[in-house]
Amino acid sequence: MEKRKTRNKGKPRAGHPIAWQNKDITSKLLAENFRGRSLEAYGLQLPRVVDSQPTNLPAIEANELKIDTLFILEDGTYAIIDYESEYREKNKGKYLGYIARLSNRLYNELGRFPPIRVIVIYTADVQRGTTNPELDLGSMRVVIDEAFLSDLDSEAIRDRIAAKLDHGEELDDLDLMQLIVYPLSCRGDAAKREAVSEAISLSERLTDDVRRASILASINVFANRIISPDDQSRIRRLIGMIDLGKEIWEGGREEGREEGREEGANMLAELLKQLTPGSSDYTLALNGSSKQRNRLYKKYHVMQES
């Protein structure tokens, strides 16, 4: 069957809200929220996040699951993030599959095997000390970075953020990061679903359009396994009310991310392929500003001159 041609592929028309179904936009919103921030709010002592990557991986079996979230950290490590509401030893086989498939994709894109971390964020239903983060297969040993949201005080998070909003105070990075996982810091599905509604209501009160949209998109991604259809529609409606065309699309353009083939083959990946890990330009590509990164694109002929 002949595929229908897509019109106006690229930057959306002015005055039109961004389509919720556009996965590139969801990825941009997630990156917008996490870029430059630490995962320390979840108890993880790791380098800061510098970018969000697409989560599609080459399938080995037809029924393989898609990973939840994929970030690049400031040390060049790729971080696979998965969320679990219970501990199962057999899930380690799933994580091994993620590593193998991501390694294959990255080698095809970069021509090398960059370091990969698997981070499992456990909801409040799993207590610290009840899991085993290691898998020893003889020839290969995998150690999982674990975060336990049971360590967080969910009511304190909600009350602190609500009080700041009541007094017109700006939320800091800790507030924003914990607002995203607030629903998962509650025990039981019923409590989580109620907390999703509360988190959406709190997010609605943010005055910055891009920040509000990025937080809402992140809540949807993190709570996608327990969010109700009504709340998912509510998030879709709230994001759809915001004309993010200029802010997100131009921001994405500055970061060198173009719509076309999948974001896994985006300009940052093409740039990193030409650079030596640990070099000054490699570090600048990951940690530099948009303008600095654009200079590198031009220097290495990754971005065509307009």
Tell me the residue type at 24.
Answer: D
- Confidence at 6, pLDDT banded by 50, 70, 90: very low
Question: CB–CB of 73/80 below 8 Å?
Answer: no
How far, in Å, CA of 224 to CA of 56, rounded? Answer: 16
Question: CB–CB of 42/181 below 8 Å?
Answer: yes
43-52, 88-97, 127-136, 235-244 — which is least confidently predicted?
235-244
The whole-number pLDDT of residue 242 equals 66
Q: How far is CA 190 from the centre of its chain?
A: 25
Same domain, 194 and 265: no
Q: Is residue 195 situated within a structural domain?
A: yes
Same domain, 259 and 131: no
Same domain, 226 and 183: yes
Last residue of a domain, one of 246, 274, 289: 246
8-12, 104-108, 136-140 — which is least confidently predicted?
8-12
Q: Is residue 306 situated within a structural domain?
A: no
For 18, phi and psi rounded to 5 degrees?
-70, 140
Q: What is the pLDDT of residues 8-32, one digit of tens each?
A: 444 433 333 333 334 445 556 666 6
Same domain, 111 and 194: yes
Same domain, 64 and 152: yes
Q: Is residue 11 situated within a structural domain?
A: no
Last residue of a domain, one of 230, 246, 262: 246
Calculated CA dihedral for residues 131, 122, 100, 286, nearest 10 degrees: -130
The whole-number pLDDT of residue 65 equals 55
- Comparing 266 with 155, the larger pLDDT belongs to 155
Q: Is residue 12 situated within a structural domain?
A: no
Q: Is residue 10 situated within a structural domain?
A: no
Residue the block writes with tokens 């200029």: 246
Same domain, 232 and 287: no
Residue 45's nearest CA partner among 166, 178, 146 is 146
- Confidence at 78, pLDDT banded by 50, 70, 90: very high
Q: What is the domain range of residue 257? A: 247-299
Is it the case that residue 91 has pLDDT exceeding 90? yes
Same domain, 262 and 126: no
Number of independent structural domains in the chain: 2
Same domain, 186 and 284: no
- Confidence at 183, pLDDT banded by 50, 70, 90: very high
The mean pLDDT of 203-223, rounded to a whole number, is: 88
Same domain, 113 and 78: yes
Question: CB–CB of 141/135 below 8 Å?
Answer: yes
How far, in Å, CA of 56 to CA of 70, rounded? Answer: 10
Mean model confidence pLDDT for the chain: 78
**Angle of CA points 250, 27, 251, to nearest 5°:** 15
Helices 209-222 & 229-240 angle (0-180, nearest 10): 160
Same domain, 205 and 254: no
Q: Is residue 136 situated within a structural domain?
A: yes
Calculated CA dihedral for residues 13, 14, 16, 17, nearest 10 degrees: 110
Same domain, 274 and 164: no
- Comparing 220 with 156, the larger pLDDT belongs to 156
Helix (H) or strand (E) holding 148: strand 145-148
- Confidence at 77, pLDDT banded by 50, 70, 90: very high
Same domain, 139 and 209: yes
Helix (H) or strand (E) holding 287: helix 280-287
Last residue of a domain, one of 246, 262, 277: 246
Q: Is residue 104 situated within a structural domain?
A: yes
pTM over 0.85: no
Residue the block writes with tokens 């800091």: 172
